[in-house]
Structure 1
Amino acid sequence: MRNRILILFAFVSVLCYGQNRPLLYNVDDLPQALLQNPGTRIDFTKHIGVPFFSQIHLFAGSTGVTAHDIFSDENSNVNQRVQNVMDRITSGDYFSVNEQLEVLSFGWKMGSRGYFSAGVYQELDIFAYFPKDPALLAFEGNAEYIGKSFSFSDANFTGEVLTVYHAGYNYKVDPKLSVGGRVKLYSGIFNAESTQNDGFFSTVETPGGPNFYRHELDDLDVLVNTSGYASLKEQDNMTVDQAVAELLSRSFFGQNVGLGIDLGFNYRVTEQFAVNASIQDLGLMFHKNDTENYHYFGSYSTNGLEPLFPELDGNERTIPYWEVFEEQLDANLKEETTYNEYNTWRPLKFNASFEFGTGKSILPCDYLISKKPRFMNLFGMLVSGVNRSKGPTYGVTAYWDRKVTDNLRFRLAYGVDDFSLTKLGLMVSSRFKNFNIYLAANDIIGYTNLAKANSASLQFGMQFIFKDL
């Protein structure tokens, strides 16, 4: 079981490089804005996405360390490079990957005030805190840390792949207020999580004792829950390609389900000033099928081996010290593999922003407000975040949104978050008759040297958008 825990943890750590998508938030002529705030204002009456291409979102980020820190040629001593990273990174640093592929997206105006939208998307979300104490103990040992307690609670990660079926409704309450909600059905493909670990390892001096030091492992309690994994490992000689094919076969109807909701609103305080907010993925996954749990727990204290050297004749065995030690470990440190059901909360996302418009223009169509005043320049600030097992991660973004023509729009953004203090982003959306295409890239400065970048984000999509006159 210990090997399985190490394999799972290594899998998550190697894959990982929050997610913050400010470039499409509150963009009123893109349907993807409804996924971030179902209550946002929109100015189209129907849309249908190009299957599998209406939204492709990729995000990877790492706080505290970059690929350049480990693989740079500036220092030929790889051990020293790793040591430098170990000295700098903390248990609060984390690695995150998020991918979202919109399989199907469509929507249409309902009555004079409503807009219905629905679709299907696949999402991968991996998040892992850096296991500072276990990594320090494994890399440096305990010789220089006599009296220090190494905490196993630093080992904390989640990873999931799922398909989301959703349907939402946006409603204009009055000329100033629009609200919306979205219901989601989650279909789980794969899940692994370990977020409630505990226990300490320490080495203490024992003057006058049977040895100079005593090693103590106190109240160890490590639990790794998985779903969708047990059936993969049970198949002998399964290759990576076969495992991927098996996971893809579950893409539309996974073995576990969950429910969630999104809620949001937009309120125009004055003609030029508006505020809005939303929450996404307030939901729960129920893991009941293909589950496997690995539990390692117990306490143990040892003063080390105390060899004896009795006189033995030719037929007597020497004392099997190592076998005795292993028996003591097995008696005090337990490992169990169970198949219990478990539940996990989806990572709750939240957004809040204000926006100020200048350069009034009149657009001919808006199902919310006929002949709505439209401002060619929008200046806004967005606070967004994701709730994680040790607390929320935040990002703040200021942006300038410019409507160049009825068919061309761009947004320039500057953000600050855990990954970077200089996050520059750009979104461009262009429409050719009813066909729309958009591209959004965040942390553009990091693209000049991805090895030194702490994060990278890219969104791309195409769809048909209609504005009935």
Structure 2
Amino acid sequence: MRETIFIILFLLSINCVGQNRPLLWGVDDLPQSLLQNPGARIDYTRHFGFPFFSQIHLFAGSTGVTAFDIFDDSNPNVNQRVSNVMSRLTKNDFFSVNEQLEVLSFGWKMGERGYFSAGIYQELDVFAYFPHDPAILAFEGNADYIEQNFDFSDVNFTGDVLTVYHVGLNYNVDRQLTFGARFKLYSGIFNAESTNNSGVFRTEITPGGPNFYRHFIENMSVKVNTSGYASLKNKEGMTVDEAVAELLSRSFFGQNVGVGVDLGFNYKVTEQLTLSGSVQDLGIMFHQKDTENSYYYGSYQTDGLEPLFPELDNNEATIPYWDVFEEELNVNLKDETLSEPYNSWRPLKFNASLEFGSGMSFLPCDYLIHKRPRYMNVFGMLFSGVNRPKGPTYGVTAYYGRKFTENFRMRLAYGIDQFTLTKIGLMASKRFSNFNLYLAVNDILGFTNLAKANSASLQFGMQFIFKDL
């Protein structure tokens, strides 16, 4: 039973549908690059995304373990497989899932230097650290860990489903500098989080006490906040299909709101060397409605039950040991469920890159060539990361992009992050008149065997792009 519970928890963590998207970073003829850097240089005058298909992004990753480690049938002993996995994982290993669906996207040139863009996208983001000590305690028990602390702070996770409405302005200051900003309104669909927990459980040997062991729970403080969940839980008889339908009904106008901003720039150090950077989702969510706070706190110590067997007559009842024990627990370890508002910060993302262009382009009818030269080849290095409860996750990517024709380009990338040291990515973008398609696959090696992959990422999209009015 214990191993079944562990496997279910593992699957829930890894299969909910990271943030590093180097394949579209700085691509000047794809509007999606503006979502990563509102200050990116652009090479079009209008765009309109194909509704619901202008960007579909999927990412899933885990550090320290893959699905193959759990389900490898070469070792028929499932207990041993789970033990092997748990012995490798630490409290700093994590599972990350991100999905983004662009519902609407459009933009147009404003004057000589500005470009206005706006849109709507839906995003799911799940991030969970492996709860090492509670998992060990639940799976193996405490017999082999006498005098050792089991730390409740290992319980640490966040999860969001929300819709984002955004408007942005990209402004070309001069030949060297472009900067941009994007304002975001978040509409919350569902949120769950449990961070900053504390407390320990410990078993000590007490030879002189009433029992050989004494168990301690010290300064436990564990809190789980949710919004958008209580109303689903409290509806008696609600099926899974009905719950999904209810969540979908909140897709455009959720019960809770938040605000945020993206900022970015692009600076040409020389004609061929470019420095750019951005921060995304510098924002906060205000959870005011349909909230639930489950709070567990307190301290307690026990030597266990010490049954007595006195002689009783027919009118005397036996001592209710379990009731007494349960009452002591309830007095010392509190379990409260509240409906208080709370706030949560959006996971802040940051990017910085250096690019070098070579092979100057002199394509016919290139009306922007007098404003800035264009290069067929781009060599770049991108550093990116996401702020998480225990600190940022990060990745470094080197990439090479080539524009083979005016309508076809590709990018090849090699990255290193906390999931893998061999992340190879490939992006292709093709334009048919004003209609554009792109496909970006990161961690190609992982797609050859998803069961053994620590991460996988896929982006796909289509839009209409215009280069003149």
Number of matched pairs: 463
1:443 and 2:443 aligned: yes
1:247 and 2:247 aligned: yes
Q: 1:446 touches 1:454 (CA, 8 Å); kept in 2?
A: yes
Whole-Å separation in 1 of the counterparts to 2:258 and 2:381:
33
- Give the alignment's TM-score, normalised by structure 2: 0.96
* Counterpart in the other structure of 1:76: 76
1:402 and 2:402 aligned: yes
Which 4+ residue blocks in structure 1 deviate beyond 4 angstroms?
A: 8-12, 14-17, 363-369
- Give the AA of the match of 2:426: L
* Counterpart in the other structure of 2:296: 296
- Give the AA of the match of 2:81: R
Residue 12 of structure 1, CA deviation? 5.7
Q: 2:410 touches 2:426 (CA, 8 Å); kept in 1?
A: yes
CA pair 193-56 structure 1, distance change in 2 beyond 3 A: same
* Counterpart in the other structure of 2:317: 317
1:126 and 2:126 aligned: yes
Residue 206 of structure 1, CA deviation? 1.1
Residue 365 of structure 1, CA deviation? 7.0
* Counterpart in the other structure of 1:467: 467
* Counterpart in the other structure of 2:110: 110
Whole-Å separation in 2 of the counterparts to 1:367 and 1:158:
48
- Give the alignment's TM-score, normalised by structure 1: 0.96
- Mean Cα deviation higher: 289-298 or 355-364: 355-364
Q: 1:194 touches 1:224 (CA, 8 Å); kept in 2?
A: yes
Q: 2:98 touches 2:123 (CA, 8 Å); kept in 1?
A: yes
Aligned runs of 1:256-295 on 2, under 5 Å? 256-295=256-295
* Counterpart in the other structure of 2:308: 308
Residue by residue, what CA displacement relative to the aligned partner does 1:261-311 show, whole Å, maximum 9, x if unpaired?
A: 000000010111001000000000000011111001111000111111111
Residue 318 of structure 1, CA deviation? 1.9
Residue by residue, what CA displacement relative to the aligned partner does 1:222-244 show, whole Å, maximum 9, x if unpaired?
A: 10111100111111111111111
* Counterpart in the other structure of 2:383: 383
- Mean Cα deviation higher: 33-42 or 306-315: 306-315
Residue 105 of structure 1, CA deviation? 0.2
Residue 370 of structure 1, CA deviation? 3.5
Q: Percent identity?
A: 74
Whole-Å separation in 1 of the counterparts to 2:17 and 2:169:
35
The SS at the match of 2:387 is strand
* Counterpart in the other structure of 1:87: 87
Q: 1:12 touches 1:157 (CA, 8 Å); kept in 2?
A: no
Whole-Å separation in 2 of the counterparts to 1:364 and 1:56:
33
* Counterpart in the other structure of 1:3: none
1:354 and 2:351 aligned: no
CA pair 247-40 structure 1, distance change in 2 beyond 3 A: same
- Unmatched runs of 5 consecutive residues or more in structure 1: 1-5
Please give the root-mean-square deviation of Cα atoms over the aligned residues, in Å. Answer: 1.7
- Give the AA of the match of 1:102: E
CA pair 365-184 structure 1, distance change in 2 beyond 3 A: farther
Whole-Å separation in 1 of the counterparts to 2:9 and 2:112:
52
Whole-Å separation in 2 of the counterparts to 1:38 and 1:368:
20
Residue 468 of structure 1, CA deviation? 1.2
Whole-Å separation in 1 of the counterparts to 2:45 and 2:53:
20
Residue by residue, what CA displacement relative to the aligned partner does 1:81-112 show, whole Å, maximum 9, x if unpaired?
A: 00000100000000011000000000000000
- Give the AA of the match of 1:414: Y
- Give the AA of the match of 1:331: V
The SS at the match of 1:391 is coil
Residue by residue, what CA displacement relative to the aligned partner does 1:54-83 show, whole Å, maximum 9, x if unpaired?
A: 000000001111000001111101110000
* Counterpart in the other structure of 2:172: 172
Residue 373 of structure 1, CA deviation? 1.3
Q: 1:45 touches 1:367 (CA, 8 Å); kept in 2?
A: no
Residue 10 of structure 1, CA deviation? 8.2
CA pair 367-61 structure 1, distance change in 2 beyond 3 A: farther
- Unmatched runs of 5 consecutive residues or more in structure 2: 1-5
Residue by residue, what CA displacement relative to the aligned partner does 1:409-466 show, whole Å, maximum 9, x if unpaired?
A: 0000000001000000000000000000000000000111100000110000000000
